Amino acid sequence: MTALGTTGVGAAGVAGAGGVAPPTALRRGRRGAGAWRFAVLLVLGLYFVVPIAASVLFTVRRGGGGLTAEFYTGIPSSPGFAVAFTRSLILAVLTVLIVLALMVPTVVLVELRLRRMRTTVELLTLLPLVLPPIALVVGVRSVLSWAPDYFLNTPLAQAFFALQKPALPWILVLVYVVLAMPFVYRALDAGVRGADLRTLTEAGRSLGASWPRVLLSVVLPVLRTSVLNASFLTLALVMGEFTIASILGFETFPTWIVKISGSAPQLSVAVSVLALMVTWGLLLLISALDRRRDTKETS
């Protein structure tokens, strides 16, 4: 809660308790604070809402006037949608699985055994944010297109080809894992720091649990929210990633949207709006899961 909010609550508490009349100065202060709050909210709200509202309006307006939902109802049947969407979803799920399999043990290990490595790991996971994706993808492309005669027919070359199958481009999964790393590491690290994992794992150990058991029954439940958080962030990232997929020439959900935007502009915007809503829904779900009852017994 902000300082402004706290002031409001405090003043209300005093008034509610009865007997103590809130001083006039406080009231004026509250009104001033309220005005500021309103102004900030208004600016922020406009900044976010106007473009989205414009998009929504664009997709529900009928040519001759009036409203229509035909662009939304038409999404499932539009050519190429199902394939591109499913492909992106599969890529996203694979990315989530791989990045979690890599990062959960890393974060736990750093916390419990390799505290001194924390800064190093943190810097390493930051690299993908510092390097422009365009540099990354150009590098990947030049490696993949490296094909002198003697290289063909080697197992490595075959692996390169396998990575680039248009139906399921594993190379995108690998690149997305790298891109998602900063977000996933931070989400997990926040969970680990807030949990006193060391004491919890030691408690588990002293009660007779083996290390795998401790990871499964103690660590994962404690990190549940951060794992969900990391998963949804990764999902949103993959479902919206355009540059790399486009440059490497694969058709995913975002590149499909761009492709159809010329011929069916309203449909493409409708799909974007829907994708945005789904992402928001997921993020709201996380915060709902994260909200715990915080009642402590006073005795």
Partner 1 sequence: MTASAATTAESEMPAGSRSGSTAELRDRPGVGVRLEGLTRRYGSVLALDGLDLDIDGGEFLALLGPSGCGKTTALRAIAGFDRPDEGRVLLGGRDITDVPASKRDMGMVFQAYSLFPNLTVADNVAFGLRVRRRGKAERAGRAAELLELVGLADRGNRYPHQLSGGQQQRVALARALAVAPQVLLLDEPLSALDAQVRVQLREEIRRIQLELGITTVFVTHDQSEALSVADRVGVMRSGRLEQIASPDELYERPATAFVAEFVGTMNRLPATVSGGEVELLGTRRLLAGSAPASGPVVALVRPESLQVSADAAGAGRVVTRTFSGASTRVAVALPDGVEVKIDVPSASSADLTPGTLVTVRPADRPVLVAPVEPTVTDADGAA
Q: Nearer to partner 1 by C-beta: 73 or 210?
A: 210
Residue 284 Cβ vs partner 1, minimum distance, rounded to whole Å: 22
Half-sphere exposure of 95 (CA within 13 A, CB side): 32
Contacts 24+ apart (CB under 8 A), 32-39: 33/4, 33/7, 33/8, 34/8, 36/4, 37/4
Residue 255 C-beta: closest distance to partner 1, Å: 41
Could you tell me which residues come within 8 angstroms of residue 147 by beta carbon, excluding any fewer than 6 positions away? 157
In angstroms, give the least distance from the CB of 230 to partner 1.
18
Nearer to partner 1, 154 or 217 (CB): 217
Look-up of token digits 């993808």: 137
Cα–Cα dist 216/195, whole Å = 15
- The nearer residue to partner 1, 138 or 216, going by C-beta atoms, is 216
Residue in this structure with the two tokens 């490296």, named with its chain if needed:
146
CA distance 170 to 148: 22
Enumerate binding residues for partner 1 (CB under 8 A): 195-196, 199-200, 202-210, 213, 217-218, 221-222, 224, 292-299
Max CA distance (Å), the chain: 91
* Cβ contact 103:183 at 8 Å: no
Closest to partner 1 by CB, 209 vs 282, is 209
Whether residue 113 contacts residue 201, with contact meaning beta carbons closer than 8 Å, is answered with: no
CB-nearer residue toward partner 1: 149 or 297? 297
CB-nearer residue toward partner 1: 50 or 216: 216
Q: How far is the CB of 200 from partner 1 (least distance, A)?
A: 6
Q: Smallest gap, in angstroms, from Cβ of residue 227 to partner 1? A: 13
Min separation Cβ 179 and partner 1, Å: 31
| CA pair distance 38, 40, nearest whole angstrom | 6
Hey, how many other C-beta atoms are within 10 angstroms of the C-beta on 177?
23
Which one, 28 or 198, has the nearer CB to partner 1?
Answer: 198
Question: To which H or E segment does residue 176 belong?
Answer: helix 170-193
Angle at 284 between CA 228 and CA 9, to 5 degrees: 120
